[in-house]
Amino acid sequence: MTSAAKLSLGCIADDYTGASDLANTLTRAGLRTVQTIGVPADDLTLPEVDAVVVSLKSRSIEAGLAVTRSRAAETWLRGRGASHIQFKICSTFDSTDAGNIGPVMDALRADSKDSIVLVTPAFPETGRTVYQGNLFVGSVPLNESPLKDHPLNPMHDSNLVRVLARQSKTKVGLVDLATLARGVEAVRAKLADLAGSGVGAAIIDAVFDRDLETIGQVALDHRLSVGASGIGLGLARALVAAGKARSAAENAISAAAIGGPAACLAGSCSQATLRQIASAEKVMPVLHLDPERVIAGKDEAQRALAWTRERLGKGPVLIASSSTPDQVAALQSRHGRDAAGHAIEQAMADLAEGLVQSGVRRLVVAGGETSGAVVDRLGIPGFLVGAEIAAGVPVLRAVGASNGEMVLALKSGNFGGPEFFSDALALMP
């Protein structure tokens, strides 16, 4: 990547929707930010920025590989002067006992030489709050939320001290809300106590944005932090307050219309996405893929492409693989969780490639792993952040792509209101 300025903040995101969510938060908080897909190539030309969010597809891969890829991103970011790195994880702490939050955090902490690392997935704007170490999604604990049925990372424990301890080699402690409410010095003292007793990672409560501002200030004492967009907000505000970032307005992206056909792909099976698909049925043609046929081979994707080509001239279309938790469980029991997920992701990538060949330059994708498969197939090296469609979901303008100008929206499964697909397309003229 060619860009001379030293980075104020380096970020490593474990999936692509999460990366665009964080890039959106940092931009809106005043940091000039770019999202790259993987570690950028040396010849990728990007504007001067304060923050780079390197997107990895490392949330659900083998832990050792996630560590290797995260370390490569870390080396690149440190090489561009980033004194602080945020490892961006999901606001619903998506992971399993095998990882990958713990193993990646352990490796990055060892490299950073920090005695203790602050960890919080809190993102109050989207209803993710942490109290006494327990993660709430809206009004319910994580283990009672729809995340209990996630196809790849079902979450069955809301106590993050326990969840992280099962994945990490270090002892995990808690900085509670009462300590946080006493301010920056109280948090520093608590962290020093915890570190003194051999605790290497502290889950920190946060309920309101002001909690994240305190956390952001303390986090900048360290070289590494782990969390979702909320801690990114805290870090960005602390950097802006310290005069270490310039106005994001300098990086405002062109809002010029792209035009041409538009399409949506949904591979997320979250309740939010299922509701959004149901609403989309009222305003655009929707094709539901048959997951069994997808797993059987390429015919289903070809059928979907033929269906799409007949309709693209008349307006946007949506193609979805999404199913209810019972149907997902049944498919997985027949084919295995990873095999089913991978086959469907590759079908989505085939579809995206076919759609772009048919002239589509405006593409909305629902689902983190799904977005990863699609963006990889399209070979897009990076994105600049545009208008915010919904909390955590910006319009993205591709940079350095061989297909020329293109705008995308990569939606986390759980984000967005019921009309998300039309909301997104309205901001992607």
Ligand X SMILES: O=C(O)[C@@H](O)C(=O)COP(=O)(O)O
Ligand Y SMILES: Nc1ncnc2c1ncn2[C@@H]1O[C@H](COP(=O)(O)OP(=O)(O)O)[C@@H](O)[C@H]1O
Q: How far is the CB of 402 from ligand X (least distance, A)?
A: 25
CA quadruple 397, 400, 402, 404: dihedral sign: positive
The site partner of 92 among ligand Y, ligand X, none (C-beta below 5 to 8 Å per kind) is ligand X
Residue type at 244?
Answer: K
Segment near ligand X (CB under 6 A), from 17-25, 75-83, 235-243, 344-352?
Answer: 17-25
The site partner of 91 among ligand X, ligand Y, none (C-beta below 5 to 8 Å per kind) is ligand X
Is 392 a binding residue for ligand X by CB under 6 A? The answer is yes
Q: Which is nearer to ligand Y, 291 or 382 (CB)?
A: 291
Is 92 a binding residue for ligand X by CB under 6 A? The answer is yes
Using a 10 angstrom Cβ sphere, with 0-12 exposed, 13-18 middle and 19 or more buried, the burial of residue 38 is middle
List the one residue from 1, 8, 18, 215 that touches ligand X (CB under 6 A). 18
Is 90 a binding residue for ligand X by CB under 6 A? The answer is yes
CA distance 226 to 152: 21
Q: How far is the CB of 403 from ligand X (least distance, A)?
A: 23
- HSE, side-chain direction, 13 A CA sphere, residue 11: 36
CA angle centred on 344, ends 338 and 347, rounded to 5°: 140
The distance from CA 12 to its chain's CA centroid, rounded to whole angstroms, is 10
Dihedral pair phi/psi, residue 117, rounded to 5° = -125, 140
Q: What residue ranges in 163-291 does DSSP mark as E strands?
A: 171-175, 199-204, 224-227, 262-266, 286-288
Task: Count other C-beta atoms under 10 Å from residue 316's C-beta.
Answer: 23
Contact at 8 Å (CB) between 384 and 406?
A: no
CA distance 74 to 77: 5
Q: Which residues pair with 398 in a beta bridge?
A: 383
Q: How far is the CB of 272 from ligand X (least distance, A)?
A: 9
The site partner of 392 among ligand X, ligand Y, none (C-beta below 5 to 8 Å per kind) is ligand X
Residues 113-132 interacting with ligand X (rule: CB under 6 A)? 123
Contact at 8 Å (CB) between 369 and 325?
A: no
Q: Which is nearer to ligand Y, 183 or 336 (CB)?
A: 336
Q: Which is nearer to ligand X, 124 or 413 (CB)?
A: 413
Segment near ligand X (CB under 6 A), from 16-24, 26-34, 77-85, 157-165?
Answer: 16-24
The site partner of 21 among ligand X, ligand Y, none (C-beta below 5 to 8 Å per kind) is ligand X
Is 414 a binding residue for ligand X by CB under 6 A? The answer is yes
Q: How far is the CB of 78 from ligand Y (least distance, A)?
A: 28
CA distance 94 to 389: 23
Q: How far is the CB of 20 from ligand X (least distance, A)?
A: 8
Q: How far is the CB of 347 from ligand Y (least distance, A)?
A: 8
Coil vs helix vs strand at 417 = coil
The site partner of 228 among ligand Y, ligand X, none (C-beta below 5 to 8 Å per kind) is ligand X
Contact at 8 Å (CB) between 112 and 224?
A: yes
Residues 228-267 interacting with ligand X (rule: CB under 6 A)? 228-229
Q: Which is nearer to ligand Y, 102 or 392 (CB)?
A: 392
DSSP H or E segment with residue 400:
none
Q: Which residue is nearest to ligand Y (CB)?
A: 413
CA distance 101 to 89: 7
Is 108 a binding residue for ligand X by CB under 6 A? The answer is no
Q: Which is nearer to ligand Y, 252 or 339 (CB)?
A: 339
CA distance 254 to 422: 21
Is 368 a binding residue for ligand X by CB under 6 A? The answer is yes
The site partner of 416 among ligand X, ligand Y, none (C-beta below 5 to 8 Å per kind) is none
Cα–Cα separations (whole angstroms), residue 369 to 33, 96, 134: 22, 15, 25
Query: Which residues here bind ligand Y, judged by CB under 6 A?
Result: 150-152, 267-270, 291, 321-323, 328, 331, 340-341, 344-345, 367-370, 412-413
Q: Which is nearer to ligand Y, 128 or 150 (CB)?
A: 150
Contact at 8 Å (CB) between 230 and 121?
A: yes
Q: How far is the CB of 226 from ligand X (least distance, A)?
A: 12
299-311 vs 337-357: helix crossing angle, rounded to 10: 40
Q: How far is the CB of 410 from ligand X (least distance, A)?
A: 8
The site partner of 331 among ligand Y, ligand X, none (C-beta below 5 to 8 Å per kind) is ligand Y
Count of positions on this chain that bind ligand X (CB under 6 A): 16
CA distance 374 to 22: 19
Query: Which among 118, 88, 95 has a CA at the least distance from the CA of 26?
Result: 88
Q: Applying CB under 6 A, which residues contact ligand X?
A: 15, 17-18, 21, 90-92, 123, 228-229, 367-368, 392, 412-414
